[in-house]
Amino acid sequence: MRQRNFPLIQTECRILTQTRQEVRKVTVSANEDGQRIDNFLLKQLPGVPKSHVYRLLRSGQVRVDGGRAKPERKLAKGEEVRIPPVRLAEKGEAVRPPDAVLNKLRSAVIHEDDNYLALNKPAGLSAHGGSGVLYGVIETIRAWNKYEFIELAHRLDRDTSGILLLAKNRPALLRAQRAFKNSTADKRYFALLVGRWRGEDRDVDAALVRNNLRVEIDEEDGKPSKSRFSPKARYRDTTLMEVQIFSGRTHQIRVHSLALGHPVCGDTKYGEREVNKKYREKGLKRMFLHSHFLKLPEEGEFSKLILNAPMTDELRDFLNRLGTAN
């Protein structure tokens, strides 16, 4: 089936001021065992700003088995969490993703077992809602009403297609998060870069920091990040790269490729407008970045997990229209 960019459908909803009048006492389930109290509360209180959740914790209004709890406090199965009444502005009713989106993601499933669900995420669909986006992958899958527990194990940019992994229980989620954090996961992308690449493989080891809406290299205050660029096909004025990332920073490939002088084709945030316009006129309607391979190593009761997601037809068709290098 031919994959196309998937436009987000914006849906209006009423905003109401609500007050949850009663104190709630919630027992920690097996799927919540080991979860931080702040993340637990954010899920229990949808629509409540993070800043307010942290104020509730600091003021002692949230109690775990009768005691105060710091945000980093990890919960254990069977503990009782006291959640105070909360006044908030929230959506009058949950936004249900359109049937077209629900079915699009059903057809995008590339792997499912007792622990994980993996998708070949379409470009144009966010991993999660927020900041004006009413729904993303996680909200859509929850709307299937199929899973008791389902959480994103990692993220992909809205305009990036490819492998997106979700966990179906907390131990599986923590296993995946450890692999990503400890750089034992093998994550590889296809990226079409502007310009003709000279030489062969090249590593970029440059710390990244978020500065408002952009990510920048900052060796003093940034977080360590490393990428390996390997050329796979050379065209007249572009190069198809496989990029292996050893960390998972926001916009990592996009910023590292820009630092090399070869931004990702179609990248509207870090690329050049006139250059992107040229490729758009040639048929590239999106950023050329696709997550095609993911491997999690064996760990304890979990066997090795290997996932592959073929490049979308639209990206392959575009490559076929490019002239080869001389």
Q: Out of 33, 99, 113, 157, which one is annotated catalytic?
A: 157
Annotation marks residue 157 as catalytic = yes
Indicate the pairing of strand 116-121 with strand 186-194: unpaired
Q: Distances in Å between the alpha carbon of 210 and those of 6, 213, 214, 238, 246?
A: 27, 7, 6, 28, 18
Please name the residue ranges forming H helices in the chain: 37-44, 50-58, 99-106, 137-142, 170-181, 252-259, 273-281, 313-321
The whole-angstrom separation of Cα 50 and Cα 38 is: 9
Which residues, other chains included, contact 150 with Cβ-Cβ below 8 Å and sequence gap of 6+? 117, 138, 141, 142, 166, 167, 168
- Looking only at Cα atoms, what is the longest distance across the chain? 73
Task: Find out whether 123 and 6 touch, Cβ atoms under 8 Å.
Answer: yes
CA quadruple 209, 213, 216, 218: dihedral positive or negative? negative
Which residues, other chains included, contact 81 with Cβ-Cβ below 8 Å and sequence gap of 6+? 25, 26, 27, 28, 37, 40, 41, 44, 62, 63, 64, 75
The amino acid that residue 25 corresponds to is: K
Which residues, other chains included, contact 294 with Cβ-Cβ below 8 Å and sequence gap of 6+? 118, 163, 165, 185, 186, 187, 188, 305, 306, 307
Just list the catalytic residues. 157
